[in-house]
Structure 1
Amino acid sequence: MRLHHIVVFFLLSLFVAAPAAQAAQTYKLAVTDLEGMEELQREFGAFGKVLGEKSGYTFELFPVNNRTAAVEALRARKVDFVITGPAEYVVFRKRTKAVPVVGFSRPDYFASVVVMADSGISSLSDLKGKKVAFGDVGSTSKHLTPMQIFADNGIDPLKDISPVYVDPKVGFAALKRGDVAAFCTTNGKFVSLRDKDSLPAGSFMVLARSRDLPNDILIAGSHVDAAVVKKLQKVFAEDSDALIKAILTGEDNQKYKGMKFLTAVNDRDYDYVRAMYATIGYPQYSEFVGN
């Protein structure tokens, strides 16, 4: 075979191999607050597809039973990317050295401490010695943040009040019945429950609220190449509208209406969450609470 034929054949093989190599780049994506492939596909199937189209990679959804399972899957490299909440992120970071990729900034994402407007309660100190309803143990906005609200105002939530942990609908009903003196939850959840209730909106009063919370976040395993992370950040910046439209196809994902992808997310943005773990007696934030 002549030399120039060999060169041509070699160059052609490179052009043929390049698309195949790119197509082979498949990554597994998990979401910590969804169980089962059916729910995962319903909420994030469109998002994974669009992210793949825009990046040139392939994303396969990977169901996990709980947050601990997700951590172990990331450590074992069975999964490459995880979408998770701020309380979960700090544990992932501690145990797997996961890398922040992009934040899912949610409008009005903060926690509220709610009382009945005619209860006579006018300050957090009035709740000392009383029952206060919180949401799921370990939830950023329904448990950890409300605990921090009390701590930030000089009240020890583990000693000065009597916390009870219930589903938000149960907590809201308990507040109306007078079974608890206050109800703590995400502001959006409170507004939704209030607006569907038969009582006038003025029957309720937000006694205190937190600062806006750190964002839900897409993280990459430490084994994922830094160039891949950088490319995905570029995709989120340049194709934001398409990705937001895709993520909003899920029913549960309506919480992201009005969201913005933040590619400049930094680990120190989550120090507020680390303070929450210390407040409830887990200063190492190396394990999930209530899992």
Structure 2
Amino acid sequence: MMHSRLSLRRFTLALLLLAPLLLPGCGRGNKPTTTTTVKIGYMVCNSEKETLQRFVPLTRYLSEKTGVTFEVVPVDTQDFEKRFKSGEFPLVHSNSLLYVVLKERYNLNLLAAEKRGQFGSRSAGAIIARAGSGIKTLADIRGKRMAFGPMLAPTGYLAEYDLMMKAGINPERDLGYYAIPPGSYKHEKAIYSVLYGSFDVAAAPVLDLEVMTKEGKISPDQFVVLAQSQLVPYCTFGAAKDADPDLVKRVRQALMDLKPTDTVEVDGEKVRVLKAAGIDGYEQLLDSDYQPIRDMARRANMPPYQTF
């Protein structure tokens, strides 16, 4: 009897030692798998609904390519830093200004930059007026009403604020009035507010002007571009400094490998990942490529460099 118990114990111990080699996905040379859900914080650009529509397919693609279950977490721009700091999500998709904030304060690692539109992974901010309004130069905006995008928008607020400061126009003193449209689709609302006369001038991301023109919502001859900033990086994927290095590597590679023909199934329908996201792909940038954003933020006294 004692001999049987001893043999059983030895057999059980042998199974425990061999288990890592027998389990699928854990052998040498295979991708490690996990049953833990990893959250990706996606900055809400236009609306939460649009964010889910655009990035659920992309997130599903990342899950299929890496063997990790990812979850889409839409995050309001104003809450993004607080929720990232709390550790709610180790991976982020945000605009380039938020990338700089998280890099400076929490050493966020750069994964890849999004490509979209004629300038690829970069875009610019513009100050526009309605054609025929009599506003023809940047100097003409003194005393005028101006609509901005969200305050943390690099090409819908920061770039235009910086353009005015460099031209000797202080938005806090020299504009008659300025405001940020409430609710969703703030960039479109700012552009429409100029078109329909609610405001005299607006801060308009060049990409939004391009997309709205392509969709037939506006025509370029309806506006006058008073000033345009230099090109700066667009939306960016990043990872927390303590994120699993192997996971970060695999996510970056999956983003770089993404092709227009790649599809996933969502609600029983086969969806093209890039088309659903409305983007052209991803590009590897350097942190130094974000220096223009840092310079703008310092001149405009904005995060992460603001002083009081």
Q: What's the TM-score, normalizing by structure 2?
A: 0.74
Q: What is the aligned partner in structure 2 of residue 202 from structure 1?
A: 221
Q: What is the aligned partner in structure 1 of residue 302 from structure 2?
A: 282
What amino acid is the match of 1:219? G
Distance 1:63 1:178 in 2: 33
Asked if residue 267 in structure 1 is aligned to residue 287 in structure 2, the reply is yes
Distance 2:40 2:139 in 1: 44
Q: Residue 114 of structure 1: SS of its match in structure 2?
A: strand
Partner deviation per Cα, 1:43-96 (whole Å, 9 max, x = no partner): 3221111111112222122344x3454433433333121111112112222332
Asked if residue 246 in structure 1 is aligned to residue 273 in structure 2, the reply is yes
Partner deviation per Cα, 1:220-250 (whole Å, 9 max, x = no partner): 111112232222222222334427941432x
Q: Residue 132 of structure 1: SS of its match in structure 2?
A: strand
**In the TM superposition, what is the alpha-carbon distance from 1:34 to its structure 2 partner?**
6.4
Q: What is the aligned partner in structure 1 of residue 4 from structure 2?
A: none
Aligned match for 2:147, one of 126, 130, 133: 133
Q: What is the aligned partner in structure 2 of residue 16 from structure 1?
A: 22
Contiguous gaps of at least 5 residues in structure 1: none
Distance 1:177 1:25 in 2: 50
Aligned match for 1:57, one of 61, 65, 68: 68
| Aligned CA distance change for structure 1 residues 74 and 182 (closer, same or farther; 3 Å) | closer
Q: Percent same amino acid among aligned pairs?
A: 20
**What RMSD in Å do the two structures reach over aligned CA positions?**
3.5
The answer to whether the 8 Å contact 2:116/2:281 transfers is: yes
**In the TM superposition, what is the alpha-carbon distance from 1:270 to its structure 2 partner?**
1.9
What amino acid is the match of 1:42? Q
Matches within 5 A, 1:78-227: 78-108=88-118, 109-167=123-181, 168=187, 170-176=189-195, 178=197, 180-191=199-210, 195-196=216-217, 201-227=220-246
Q: What is the aligned partner in structure 2 of residue 33 from structure 1?
A: 44
Bigger RCO (CA 8 Å, 6+ sep) = 1
Q: What is the aligned partner in structure 1 of residue 266 from structure 2?
A: none
Q: Residue 242 of structure 2: SS of its match in structure 1?
A: coil
Distance 1:39 1:175 in 2: 24
Aligned match for 1:48, one of 30, 37, 59: 59
Q: Residue 107 of structure 1: SS of its match in structure 2?
A: coil
Return the index of the structure with the highest Cα Rg. 2
What amino acid is the match of 1:48? T
What amino acid is the match of 1:266? L
Q: Residue 231 of structure 2: SS of its match in structure 1?
A: coil
Q: Residue 237 of structure 2: SS of its match in structure 1?
A: strand
| Aligned CA distance change for structure 1 residues 18 and 96 (closer, same or farther; 3 Å) | farther
Distance 1:170 1:212 in 2: 23
Q: Choose between structure 1 and 2: higher helix proportion.
A: 1
Deviation >6 Å, runs of 4+: 5-8, 34-38
| Aligned CA distance change for structure 1 residues 73 and 18 (closer, same or farther; 3 Å) | farther
Contiguous gaps of at least 5 residues in structure 2: 1-6, 27-31, 182-186, 264-270
The answer to whether the 8 Å contact 2:195/2:222 transfers is: no
What amino acid is the match of 1:94? E
Distance 1:130 1:238 in 2: 47
The answer to whether the 8 Å contact 1:103/1:261 transfers is: yes
| Aligned CA distance change for structure 1 residues 39 and 169 (closer, same or farther; 3 Å) | closer
Q: Residue 19 of structure 1: SS of its match in structure 2?
A: coil
The answer to whether the 8 Å contact 1:75/1:221 transfers is: no
Partner deviation per Cα, 1:193-212 (whole Å, 9 max, x = no partner): 66435xx7534222222222
